[in-house]
Amino acid sequence: MQVDMVENIGFAAAACTTLSFIPQLTKIRKQGGRDLYLTYTMLSVYLLGLALWLAYGIWLHAPAVVVAHAASIALVVAAIVMKAIVVVPPQAPSEIWQALAESQILNPRIDV
């Protein structure tokens, strides 16, 4: 019973940390290779760390660690591929300013 509970906690933690990377894939899909926060260097170092965790989990026979890091590796590889392939055409500066002018960023509505 105790081992099952500990393993379930491990799988829950694995699900949380692995699924937390999915919004990054959405961001890359929208912004393409222009995403400055997810650099190839960051993704490569993260991928290396995940591979080391995967090896560690395999060595310790820890299924939660193995599953989480194998899934995370797949997501990071997808991010690298998407970052390289997805091209979003840049907007002209006038289009950007027009979008900002129409948004509430530059023109906040104050209800009184």
Q: Which two tokens stand for residue 28?
A: 């890359």
108 within a domain of the structure (yes/no): no
Closest CA to 51 of 15, 20, 76, 21: 76
Residue 34's pLDDT band (cuts 50, 70, 90):
low
7 within a domain of the structure (yes/no): yes
pLDDT at 91: 56
Q: In terms of pTM, does the model score above 0.75?
A: no
8 within a domain of the structure (yes/no): yes
112 within a domain of the structure (yes/no): no
Please give the residue range of the domain that contains residue 22. Answer: 2-102
Tens of pLDDT, residue by residue over 76-87, are 999 888 888 876
The distance of Cα 11 from the centroid of its chain, to the nearest Å, equals 19
Number of domains the chain contains: 1
pLDDT at 57: 92
28 within a domain of the structure (yes/no): yes
**What CATH number is associated with residue 34?**
1.20.1280.290
98 within a domain of the structure (yes/no): yes
